[in-house]
Amino acid sequence: MQTKTVKVTQDIKKDEYIYEEAGRILREGGLVAFPTETVYGLGGNGLDPDASRKIYAAKGRPSDNPLILHIADKEMLYDIAENVSDKAEKLIDTFWPGPLTMVFKKADKVPSTTTGGLDSVAVRMPSHPVAVAMIRAAGVPIAAPSANVSGRPSPTLAKHVVEDMDGRIEMILDGGNIAIGIESTIVDMTSAPPVILRPGYITKTMLEEVAGEVSLDPTLLVKPTEDLRPRAPGMKYRHYAPKAELTLYEGSIDKVASVIWKQALEKMAENRRVAVIATKESKVVYDKLVSEAESAGKIQPNDNKIDFILLGSRQDEESIARNLYAVLRECDEKAVDYIYSETFSLDNFGQAIMNRLRKAAGYNIINLND
Ligand code: TXA
Ligand code: MG
C-alpha cells in the first residue's frame, strides 16, 4: 500500500480539501494517522469492526487490547457511552477537549472488536485542531491507538509515524510537533471511586479537585505480577521499549551521574555502545567527569562510544515528557547496546513520566539512595 503523507497547518480552512480526503478514507474503512496534543494516533472508523481489525494488524497489536474512541463533540459521547455520571460531566466540563480519556459502559452500537471484547468503552475528546477537523470530516467516532508499532515508543513526530506505518496505512497527517508527548490520563468511571488506569498530564490532584476522591490502579509504578494485574489491558504489555537494555538509577544527581559514568566507561572498554540520557542539570556533572577522564588520559577526546542525549531540564517536567519518546527512538537509531538514565519525581505529572520510563526499562532500576 502507498501511504500518502500530507503536511497540515493550524489553518483548517485552507486545508479543507485534505480533511475531505481524510474523512472519505475513514468512512470507507481506511486508516489515517493524525496528531493529537498527546501523541500521534492511528485512526479508523470506531463503529466499523473491519477498521479496528486493520488497526490491530497495522500495529501488530494483540486484539484483546481495546482502542480509545476519539470524538469531536459531546453528542458523539451519548451515542457510544451509557451511564455518563454527574462526576463524569464535571470532568468533561473541566478537561475536555484535552488529554483525558474516560471509560464508560459501552452502547450497543460500539463493536466489541473496538473494545477488545469488553463491555466498556474508553472515550476522549482531543483538543488538537487537526484531530478535531479530521473527526468532524469523518463524521464518526475515531478509534485510535498511538500510531506506533506495538511495543515501540509512541510517536511524537510525523517522522516517527512514517518509520512505523509507511506502507501499512492510507494517509498520515503531518501536524508537526506534539505539545505533551505522553499519552492521555485514563480514568475508569464505571467504578466508585473512579480509578486512574494510566497516569498522564491530568493528575490525580487535578481530577480530585473537580470530582472528589479518585483512586490509583496500584500496578502503575511497579512491575505487574499474576496477582497484581493492571486494569487497562494495554498496561500489561512491555511497552514504550527501546531495543537496547535500559537501566534507571535513582538517587542524587551527583551520585547517579558518577555511577552511570563508571558503568558507561566499563561498557566502552568492552567495545559496547552506550547512550546516557541526561538533563540540563546532570549534563554539567557529566561534562566535568568527561574532562577529568580526558586529562587523566583515561579516554581520548575523539572516543565517541558514549552518547549523551539531552532529555530536557529537571526544572521543567513538561520538557522531559515532550522529549522522552523521541529520545528513546534516537537511542534505537544509534543502535546502542546499553542506555543509562537518571529518574524523576513521582509527584504530579512526574508520575506519568516515571510510569512510562519504568516500563521502558522493564523495571530495571538501581537504587542509589542511602
Ligand atoms: O493520548 C492517547 O490516549 C493516545 C492518543 C492517540 O489519543 N492514544 C493512546 O491509545 O494512547 P493506546 O491504544 O495506545 O492506549 C489505550 C489504552 C490501552 O492501555 C488500553 O488497554 C486502554 O487504553 N483502554 C482502552 N479501552 C479501555 C477500556 N474499555 N477499559 C480499560 N482500558 C481501556
Ligand atoms: Mg500505545
Which one of 31, 101, 102 would you pick to mutate in the ligand 1 pocket, going by the greatest count of ligand atoms within 8 A of its CB?
A: 101
Q: Which residue has cell 566507561?
A: 265
- State yes or no: pLDDT of 284 exceeds 80: yes
Which of 61-65, 68-72, 98-102 has the weakest average pLDDT? Answer: 61-65
- State yes or no: pLDDT of 63 exceeds 90: no
Q: Is 22 in the pocket of ligand 1 (CB under 6 A)?
A: no
Closest ligand 1 atom to residue 38 Cα is: 1
What are the grid coordinates assigned to 209, written together?
479537585
- Would you state the pLDDT for residue 238? 60
Task: Tell me which amino acid residue 343 is.
Answer: T
Residues 6+ apart with CB under 8 A from 62: 56, 150, 237
Mean pLDDT of 235-251: 83
* Ligand 2 center–CA 154 separation, angstroms: 6
Of 47, 51, 6, nearest to 25 (Cα)? 51
- Cα Rg of the chain, angstroms: 21
Q: Which residue has cell 497484581?
A: 228
Give the model's confidence band at 215: pLDDT under 50 very low, under 70 low, under 90 confident, else very high: very high
Give the model's confidence band at 239: pLDDT under 50 very low, under 70 low, under 90 confident, else very high: low
- Would you state the pLDDT for residue 277? 98
**Single pTM value for the model:** 0.95
Q: Is 41 in the pocket of ligand 1 (CB under 6 A)?
A: yes
What are the grid coordinates assigned to 27, written together?
468512512
Q: What is the pLDDT of residues 164-199, one digit of tens each?
A: 999 999 999 999 999 999 999 999 999 999 999 999
Mean pLDDT of 285-295: 94
Mean pLDDT of 238-244: 76
- 33 phi and psi angles, rounded to 5 deg: -90, 145
What are the grid coordinates assigned to 147, written together?
500510531
Q: Is 120 in the pocket of ligand 1 (CB under 6 A)?
A: yes
- State yes or no: pLDDT of 305 exceeds 80: no
Mean pLDDT of 244-253: 96
Q: Is 114 in the pocket of ligand 1 (CB under 6 A)?
A: no
